[in-house]
Chain A
Amino acid sequence: MNGYNFAYLDEQTKRMIRRALLKAVAIPGYQVPFGGREMPMPYGWGTGGMQLTASILGADDVLKVIDQGADDTTNAVSIRAFFERVAGVETTTVTTAASVIQTRHRIPETPLEPGQILVFQVPIPEPLRFIEPSEQETRLMHALEEYGVMHVKLYEDIARHGHIATTYAYPVKVAGRYVMDPSPIPKFDNPKLDMSPALLLFGAGREKRLYAIPPYTRVESLDFEDHPFEVQRWDERCALCASADSFLDEVITDDAGGRLFVCSDTDYCESRREESA
């Protein structure tokens, strides 16, 4: 597109983000500050993820964008259209065909492959923020590996509900050192972070932080010996593709209590329906 640099950001901004990304993969789970730029959309719509995508994207990349697992929701459609316009890259909805996948709140059901890069949009990157509003203090807590409060939060869940009621943005420990917020993915997706063959990058635009999990890195979800980490399970199957092991969204179909459960990952659901058709 004329009038813009390739992938929207100027080259100096990309270099700044690229240098920060190299630090981020060298210190897995640590939040590297970066000079976040204004993007042509409001904070909270994925400006952090977009800046990372713009910095890594090349002309021969194939980009997929998902929002809550779906390729066809507003956020996904507009970010995909944005990069088609400013970078002219090929886009896809097929998980296996993408080299870069930008995501809001899900990890695709189809297992990722070596060489793929998953870019997460992150609203609040600091997992300790709920208990400690001061950046200086949370930074010190990370430095001292002082993570007891995270277990207090999970314990309070157990005391109140009888089980760990945290269902998304479930805290993880990366490579045995940093406690990290995996972004508001459902805890159903947490096991996919562990030893993932794909590179995982996280960008928070408002908070101007980025972090990373390299491929083949140990990622543990915090838990207790007597209350081990568990993911969500459904009694239902997907109403469209009959999948029994994907993350299901509950959809209200009428005002008389009608409801059905469908896969949140649209590409996974469609490919299963095509296979069985």
Chain B
Amino acid sequence: MPWPTLNDPVHDSQRLFRQLLAALSEPGTLHTLEAPTPPEGGIGTALWGTLLTLCDLDVRVWLAAELDTPALREALLFHTGCRLTDEPTQADYALVTPATMRDAPDFAQGSDEHPERSTTLLVALDTLVTADSAGGSWRLSGPGIPGQRALSVGERARPLMRQLAASRERFPRGLDAILACGKRLVALPRTTRLEEIA
């Protein structure tokens, strides 16, 4: 097999899904995903595991140019049967980096009547720490968070986080984001309020 997939598709995807469910229901909590090695390119194990868990032929995926490798395309299509799209508004899932978000692609935000028809961002980061020690720190609050949580995502992700913070005004429309670095993953659903810690 040129690109490893889940050893036990039924139980591995269930286990990974429960981690994703826990991550989205408790924003800012760190989850370590045991998943196969991703195909060559910029995405880590956690995002590859997420794609294998959630994608199938009903799903359209948008790939950012900097993550788009022939190996990733082939592996994704082979293992999940999902469709790739060039239209950000059509994407169910978008595989992006903080750099992608500087061009502010026009991802689906959902509508007030159908807020669920939105793109979920799968973001590949180089820094992801759930403490406010390093620079570029954010304070999280909202549903799923007793009090507050803190998150550091690195300087490069600042514009992305500002975009997410600004999009909170449009609730229930908005973007849900799954941030990942290697094996580690944190989710920021659209309900999570983000404040920059000066």
Give chain A nearest CB distance to B61 CB in angstroms.
12
CB of B103 within 8 A of chain A? Answer: no
Once the chains are docked, how many angstroms separate the CA of A33 from the CA of B57? 18
Q: Is the CB of A22 within 8 A of B113?
A: no
Q: Which residues of A contact B191 (CB under 8 A)?
A: 26-28, 175, 214
Cβ contact within 8 Å between B10 and A6? yes
Residues of A within 8 A of B26 (CB): 214-216
A253 at the interface (CB under 8 A from B): no
A32-87 contacts to B, CB under 8 A, are: 32-33, 55-59
Residues on B with C-beta less than 8 A from A195 are 146
Question: Quick one: which of B11, B92, B116, B176 contacts A30, CB cutoff 8 A?
Answer: B116
Cβ of B21 within 8 Å of any chain A Cβ, yes or no, is yes
Known: A11-B13, A12-B56, A22-B176. A58 touches B120 (CB 8 A): no
Q: Which residues of A contact B92 (CB under 8 A)?
A: 19
B9 close to A11 (CB less than 8 A): yes
Q: Which of A206-231 contact B (CB under 8 A)?
A: 212-218
Question: Which residues of A sit under 8 angstroms from B57, Cβ to Cβ?
Answer: 12
- Complex Cα distance, B55 from A82, in Å, reads 28
Among the listed B53, B58, B176, which residue makes an inter-chain contact with A26, where contact means beta carbons less than 8 Å apart? B176
Contact between B144 and A22, CB atoms less than 8 A apart? no
CA of A215 to CA of B29 in the docked complex: distance in angstroms?
12
Are B112 and A143 touching (Cβ within 8 A)? yes
Interface size class of A (residues with CB under 8 A): 35 or more
Do A214 and B143 touch across chains, with their CB atoms under 8 A apart? yes
- The count of chain B contact residues (Cβ–Cβ below 8 Å) is 41
Residues in B neighbouring A25, C-beta threshold 8 A: 21, 24-25, 144, 189
Task: Please tell me if the beta carbons of A5 and B10 are within 8 angstroms of each other in the complex.
Answer: yes
B11 touches A212 (CB 8 A): no
Query: Could you say which residues of chain A place their CB within 8 Å of the CB of B10?
Result: 5-6, 11
- Return the chain B residue nearest A217 by Cβ: B143
Complex CA distance for A177 and B143, rounded to whole angstroms: 11
Q: 1/0 contact trace for A1-23 toward B, CB 8 Å?
A: 00001100001101110111111
Interface of A, secondary structure class, is: mixed
Given A19-B54, A27-B172, A175-B191, verify A6-B11 contact (CB < 8 Å).
yes
Distance between B184 CB and nearest chain A CB, rounded to angstroms: 18
B145 within 8 A of A: yes
Task: Report which residue of A22, A23, A24 has the largest number of chain B beta carbons within 10 angstroms of its beta carbon.
Answer: A22
Q: Any chain B CB within 8 A of the CB of A151?
A: no
B9 contacts A22, CB within 8 Å? no
- Which one of B21, B55, B111, B191 has the greatest number of beta carbons of chain A within 10 Å? B21
- Bound Cα distance from A117 to B170, whole angstroms: 29
Per-residue 0/1 for B52-94: is the Cβ within 8 Å of any A Cβ (1 yes, 0 no)?
0111111100000000000000000000000000000000100
Q: Is B105 an interface residue (CB 8 A)?
A: no
Select the residue from B54, B57, B116 with max chain A CB neighbours within 10 A: B116
- The chain B residue sitting closest to A212, CB to CB, is B25
- B14, A27: Cβ atoms under 8 Å? no
- State A197–B57 Cα separation when bound (angstroms): 35
Evaluate contact between B21 and A216: CB separation under 8 angstroms. no
Nearest CB on B from A86, distance (A)? 12
Chain B, residue nearest A24 (CB): B116
- Does A154 lie at the interface of the complex (its beta carbon under 8 Å from any beta carbon of B)? no
Q: Chain B residues near A16 (CB, 8 Å)?
A: 58
Contact between chains at A216 and B146 (CB < 8 Å): yes
Name the A residues within 8 Å of B114 (CB-CB): 139
- A239 on interface, CB distance cutoff 8 Å: no
CA distance A272 to B171 in the complex (A): 45
- B17 CB–A CB distance under 8 Å: yes
Q: In the bound complex, what is the Cα–Cα distance between A15 and B190 (angstroms)?
A: 21
A5, A14, A139, A216: which contacts B145 (Cβ < 8 A)? A216
Q: In whole angstroms, what is the CA distance A199 to B175 when docked?
A: 21
Kindly list the 5 A-B residue pairs having the minimum CB-CB distance in the complex, ordered from nearest.
A26-B189, A143-B112, A214-B144, A217-B143, A214-B25
Contacts from A to B (Cβ < 8 Å): 5-6, 11-12, 14-16, 18-28, 30, 32-33, 55-59, 115, 139-140, 142-144, 175, 177-178, 195, 199, 212-218
List, sorted by A's number, 7 A–B pairs whose CB atoms are closer than 8 Å.
A5-B10, A6-B10, A14-B13, A14-B14, A15-B55, A21-B21, A26-B176
